[in-house]
Amino acid sequence: MNKFQLLLIVTFFCLLEGHGQVRQESLLEKGWKFSREDHPEAISSAFNDSKWQTVTVPHDWAIYGPFSSRNDAQYVAIAQDGQKEATEHAGRTGGLPFVGVGWYRTSFRIPDFGPGQKAMLLFDGAMSHAKIYVNGQEAGYWPYGYSSFHLDITHLVKAGDNLLAVRLENLPESSRWYPGAGLYRNVHLIVTSDVHIPVWGTQLTTPEVRKEWAQIQLKTAIAYPADKDIRKFRLITEIKNDKGQVVASGESRPNSYKPHEISQEFIVESPRLWDLQSPTLYTAVSRLYEGEILKDEYSTPFGIRSIEVIPDKGFFLNGKRIVFKGVCMHHDLGPLGAAVNEAAIRRQIRILQEMGCNAIRTSHNMPAPELIRICDETGMLVMAESFDEWKVPKCQNGYHTLFDEWAEKDLLNLLRQFRNNPSIVMWCIGNEVPEQSVKGGVKRGRFLQDICHRE
Q: Is residue 245 classed exposed, middle or buried when 0-12, 13-18 and 19+ CB atoms within 10 A define those classes?
A: exposed
Q: Quick check: 7 pLDDT over 70?
A: no
Distance CA 247, CA 369 (A): 27
Half-sphere exposure in the Cβ direction for 441 (13 Å, CA): 15
267-303, pLDDT tens digit by residue? 999 999 999 999 999 999 999 999 999 999 999 999 9
Q: Quick check: 345 pLDDT over 70?
A: yes
Over residues 373-388, the mean pLDDT reads 98
* Segment among 69-73, 158-162, 256-260, 282-286 with least mean pLDDT: 69-73
Conformational region of residue 78, where left means phi above 0, alpha means psi within -120 to 50, and beta covers everything else: beta
Average of per-residue pLDDT values in the chain? 94
Over residues 127-132, the mean pLDDT reads 98
Distance CA 297, CA 202 (A): 12
pLDDT given at position 1: 54
Question: Which residues neighbour 333 within 8 Å (Cβ) at sequence distance 6 or greater?
Answer: 339, 341, 344, 345, 348
pLDDT given at position 347: 98
- Which strands make up the sheet holding 202-209, listed edge to edge? 202-209, 213-221, 261-269
Question: Which residues neighbour 405 within 8 Å (Cβ) at sequence distance 6 or greater?
Answer: none
Over residues 232-255, the mean pLDDT reads 98
Q: Quick check: 196 pLDDT over 50?
A: yes
Q: Is residue 330 classed exposed, middle or buried when 0-12, 13-18 and 19+ CB atoms within 10 A define those classes?
A: middle
Q: Quick check: 6 pLDDT over 70?
A: no
Evaluate whether 137 touches 81 at the Cβ level (below 8 Å).
Answer: no
Confidence of residue 10 (pLDDT cuts 50, 70, 90): very low
Over residues 46-56, the mean pLDDT reads 98
